[in-house]
Amino acid sequence: MSTFASKKSFVPKKIYVEESVASTPLSKRIIRHAPHSQVDVIADAQVLLEKAASSLNKGSWQNNLLLAKQRGPFLRRCPGTPKYLCCLYYNLDVAAGCDLGCTYCILQGYLNNPLITIHCNTEEMYHELDSTLRKNSRIFYRIGTGELSDSLTFEHLTELGPELVTFFADKRNAIIELKSKNVHIDALLGLDHRGRTVVSWSLNTIEMQKSEEPLATTIDDRLYAARAVQNAGYKIGFHFDPMIDHPGWHEGYRDIVDKIFRFIKPENIVWISLGALRYPAPFEHILRENHPDSRIFLGELLPGIDKKLRYFKPIRIDLFGSMVKWIRSYSKEVFVYLCMESADVWRKAFGWAPRSSAHLKQLLDDRVKP
């Protein structure tokens, strides 16, 4: 058995299946991979979601899974943040919700229900993607599945990764990025991806991983998985987001940078993103209620120009500037960028800034264009 296949995986206690997707290949596959889960077929997922959202005991829903129809578009542009540079990324909403329970996860406030949902009308998703990419053949799309969920954490149930890799393998104006804190990569290793898939991992200091990401795989496990994916010819990405101001962060983040370049060759890293802890002010009470012992509240955060709570600008500049210095000690070529930051912070941390969001998009597109 592969090392990566043996990692602890989410097993739903109950699976709710909306009638409209009960016969889809994805629904059947998920149910087949969860033989001990109770399966209930329901008429309308929206009714169930409203019931779950209004439940006084939301914890009773958390180990369950909903298989439903995606009623809106699957593909949408990242909403970005006004007045900050954005990389103009596209999100593919295949799933909503996650089993990893990271303390800082914005989904706790963004998603108004405790049910993990997987959208199983994927035939419509692929049709939408085909139509969009053909109609806009002059636009280059960087697309990811990791905004509303973790890209790989449900792979043992869905096996969607190989489907997506195969679908994008012949696309000239798009790539797919699978971003994760998990290591379900076995099914990706033998595929003819043709360089059209980037596999990425979110990283943090070991101390923060243990205290704020306790259900996720260890940093070393993620890097071992990244090395295996590298050996299969994939390009790799890393995302330090959120970076967390905590005692010993200099040593902690420097150690992870050292580890990255022990595991991965610089020429195989397409990008490394950096972003400091931030969240909308109304979400703070949700985060504190769900994780009262979290260490993310030790630092002082104040409203930024986008009204999100952020660290003082000098703290963010110190975090980002230190990271780019350590990365540059290993490679002058790896592209490092900031997520949702002002041009002023870019210049003070990096010594330069993209001219606009469109310029940042172009720089990132050039890393992965055929």
DSSP 222: H
Which region, left, alpha or beta, applies to residue 211 given φ > 0 means left and ψ of -120 to 50 means alpha? Answer: alpha
Whether residue 227 is contained in a domain is answered as yes
CB atoms within 10 A of CB 370: 10
What tokens appear for 131 in the block? 């139509």
Can you say how many angstroms the Cα of residue 340 is from the centroid of all Cα atoms in its chain? Answer: 15
For 149, the domain range is 74-94+141-368
Q: What is the pLDDT of residue 316?
A: 97
* Mode of pairing for the β-strands spanning 116-119 and 95-96: antiparallel
Burial class (CB in 10 A: 0-12, 13-18, 19+), 189: middle
- State which H helix or E strand residue 110 sits in: helix 107-110
Whether residue 20 is contained in a domain is answered as no
Whether residue 246 is contained in a domain is answered as yes
Q: What is the pLDDT of residue 7?
A: 60
We report the CATH number of the domain holding residue 351 as: 3.80.30.30
Tens-level pLDDT at each residue, the chain (370 residues): 356 655 679 999 999 999 999 999 999 999 999 999 999 999 999 999 889 888 867 777 888 999 999 999 999 999 887 789 999 999 999 999 999 999 999 888 777 778 999 999 999 999 999 999 999 999 999 999 999 999 999 999 999 999 999 999 999 999 999 999 999 999 999 999 999 999 999 999 999 999 999 999 999 999 999 999 999 999 999 999 999 999 999 999 999 999 999 999 999 999 999 999 999 888 888 889 989 999 998 888 999 888 899 999 999 999 999 999 999 999 999 999 999 999 999 999 999 999 999 999 999 999 999 8
Whether residue 289 is contained in a domain is answered as yes
Q: What is the pLDDT of residue 305?
A: 85
What tokens appear for 227 in the block? 């090395």
Whether residue 52 is contained in a domain is answered as no
Whether residue 44 is contained in a domain is answered as no
CA distances from 233 to 155, 173, 236 (A): 20, 20, 9
Whether residue 108 is contained in a domain is answered as no
- Could you give the number of structural domains in the chain? 1
Whether residue 349 is contained in a domain is answered as yes
- Name residue 273's beta-bridge partners: 239, 337
0.75 surpassed by pTM: yes
- Residue showing tokens 């869905």: 158
Nearest 10 degrees: CA dihedral of 56, 57, 58, 63?
A: -160
Nearest 10 degrees: CA dihedral of 333, 338, 342, 343?
A: 0
Q: Are 246 and 283 in contact (CB under 8 A)?
A: no
What tokens appear for 233 in the block? 């010819």
